[in-house]
Amino acid sequence: MIADKLYEEAVKHQGVCVGLDTLEAYFPNYLIEQDAGIDEKLWKFNQKVIDATKDEVACYKVQIACYEAYGLKGLQAYSKTLKYIRDNGKIVIADVKRGDIFSTAKQYAKAHFTGDFEADYITVNTYMGEDAISPYYDYIKNQNKGLFALVKTSNPSGVDLQDVKTKDGKRVYQQMAQKVNEWGSSFRGKCGFSAIGAVVGLTYAEEFENIREDLSHTFLLIPGYGAQGGTGEDIAKIFKKGLCGVVNSSRAIISAHKGIDESENFAQCALDSVIKMKEDIGQWL
């Protein structure tokens, strides 16, 4: 099961996930100066980062919006990036945050679990309820796929809705955590975690204890490390009872070369940042 593979990779690599949220602003000078289309430049950038870091990371997360913004050429680079990661035996999480009614969700499932945009995991917005994610169940069961459902997001205004108290005194995000754990109960691997995971932002690590029991069998995708301010000490609050997720860092890794190395060897800076992140997290495990 995909949850077992991800868990094994996370244990091996201190839960480090590299976010390929690639923008033109991150390109090194040597790439900017090349006479090539945006699709080729995005692809070359990602390929070099993947080649440099693949032996040191648990997985990659690719944010589709960074590629959609460049139109069809951007999506060509997105597709090549997903395939390259998987061809190298690594797990890829497509950060697409899909969430819609049953009939539409069926098409999203087909789009992101098969064909040109096939990924191992995708992120989904489950605040529309179970019928917005149940179309993915067949892919989880029969095609070794997985989901990360939004539970507690790292954006500042998320509290406006997610922290509202319900009539039983719990926060909305706590109830969502219970639902995600419940929905994932049929898809648990040997590691004890389900192929339906949860997104829990590192910027709210102190609140993790409120939902840890509700997510007892739920593996986490944890944004917020690095450029968003999260540290290894924050991770310790989440991992203190054992490793239970992957920690994503994007900008701090893929733009680490800016002002330091603008040559074709820029990806060494990404590797250095990954190793530093592993050490930062590892000291608390």
Task: Return d(Cα 9, Cα 164) in angstroms, integer.
Answer: 36
| Distance separating alpha carbons of residues 160 and 171, to the nearest angstrom | 11
Those residues whose C-beta lies under 8 Å from the C-beta of residue 159, and which sit 6 or more positions away, are: none
Tell me if residue 108 falls in helix, strand or coil: helix
Show Cβ contacts of residue 211 under 8 Å, excluding neighbours closer than 6 positions: 151, 152, 173, 174, 177, 200
State yes or no: is 97 an active-site residue: yes
Residue pair 219/238 in contact (Cβ under 8 Å)? The answer is no
CA torsion through residues 257, 25, 251, 264, sign: negative
Residue 65 main-chain phi, psi, to 5 deg: -60, -35
**Do residues 39 and 65 touch, judged by C-beta distance below 8 A?**
no
Give dist(CA 172, CA 156) in Å, integer.
16
Kindly give, in sequence order, each residue whose CB lies less than 8 Å from that of residue 252, ignoring residues fewer than 6 positions away.
225, 226, 227, 273, 277
Question: Is the distance from CB of 91 to CB of 121 less than 8 angstroms?
Answer: yes
Angle in degrees, CA 243, 48, 231, rounded to 5: 30
Catalytic residue, chosen from 73, 80, 97, 258, is 97
Beta bridge partners of 122: 94, 147
Structure tokens at 231: 């540290």
Please give the positions annotated as active site: 97
